[in-house]
Amino acid sequence: VFDGIDGAGKSTQISLAGDWLSEQGQQVVCLTDPGSTELGQRLRRLLLERSDVPISMQAEMLMFMAARAQLVDELILPAIENNQIVLCDRFTISTAVYQGHAGGLSVDDIWAANQIATQGLLPHLTLLFDLPADVAFERLKSRHGIQLDKLESRGPAYFAKVREGFLFESKRWPTGVEVLDATRPVDEIQAKVQDFIGMMLKRNLQVRI
Ligand code: Z5A
């Protein structure tokens, strides 16, 4: 799982890691949570674009979970069954942070809902791309202009809570979380990503690359 505050470089890094794994002869599938399924895409639009539909924090959390449930069932479990390596842009830790730490819901309740959504599936490795909230906000503003999406428009204070939440959860998350300094140049970060993935494959799947 590639996760972290908005604009931290997850998409950039997942794409490079996917290319690298393919070059190493690995079967790899890159997914986005929410988004890689039809249901995920529709829920994503509703969650991020439609500001005319009132959505409570509880409903928001359950919509992310519904998208994840579909993603796990439709794409992740079949990929694992086919011995493919799954790289996922965001997963459970995002919900714990955005709807839990920043959104005010109980992280324990989020875990309970997540058990249903993921059928108990846990990632082997979570890479957390850490970036100060103000740097993340500036990157997003320069990319989107003033057109920030609905969640991103919650502003810098919300982003600061998000960053703190990620760092807090990284220390107690039940599966391995590696924190990477996302202010560093893209290539330097990717070299670390490849080291962590290489070690994880060797450790968990006895695959040496
Ligand atoms: N969300 C949630 O609330 N609950 C949940 O359970 C889940 C998600 C799963 C959409 O997520 C929103 O959903 C998100 C959390 C919420 N928003 N909020 N608030 P998303 O992952 O689809 O969207 P995002 O986080 O905004 O991703 P992004 O905008 O695509 O950012 P990114 O993937 O982390 O970064 P990037 O696109 O690779 O790079 C961003 C820019 O920085 C781009 O211009 C790059 O060229 C540049 N960049 C990348 N790396 C670097 C380095 N190293 N140096 C300098 N510049 C860089």
Q: Which residues of the chain have pLDDT under 70?
A: 50, 143-153, 206-209
Q: How far does residue 3's CA lie from ligand 1's centre (Å)? A: 9
The helix (run of H) or strand (run of E) holding residue 195 is: helix 186-205
Closest CA to 65 of 33, 18, 103, 30: 33
Pocket lining: 169 vs ligand 1, CB cutoff 6 Å: no
For ligand 1, atom 27, name the residue with the nearest CA.
Answer: 6
Nearest in space to 94 (alpha carbons), one of 134, 116, 126: 126
In contact, 78 and 119? CB cutoff 8 Å: no
189 within ligand 1 shell (Cβ under 6 A): yes
Quick one: which atom of ligand 1 is closest to the CA of 33?
Answer: 9
For atom 8 of ligand 1, the residue with the nearest CA is 94
152 Cα–ligand 1 center, Å: 10
Q: Beta strands of the chain (E only): which ranges? A: 2-4, 28-32, 85-89, 126-130, 177-181
Return the pLDDT at 146.
Answer: 47
Whether residue 152 has its Cβ less than 6 Å from ligand 1:
yes
pTM of the model: 0.95
Q: Which residues contact 11 (CB under 8 A, 6 or more apart)?
A: 89
- Write out pLDDT tens, residues 27-47: 999 999 999 999 999 999 999
Q: What pLDDT shows up at residue 112?
A: 97
pLDDT at 150: 65
Report whether residue 98 contacts ligand 1, using a CB cutoff of 6 Å. yes
Reply yes or no: is the peptide bond before residue 78 cis, omega within 30 of 0: no
What pLDDT sits at residue 138?
Answer: 81
pLDDT given for residue 38 in this prediction? 98
Residue whose tokens read 């003033």? 146
Residue 127 CA to ligand 1 center (angstroms) comes to 14
Minimal-distance CA residue to ligand 1 atom 49: 9
Residue 151: the pLDDT is 64
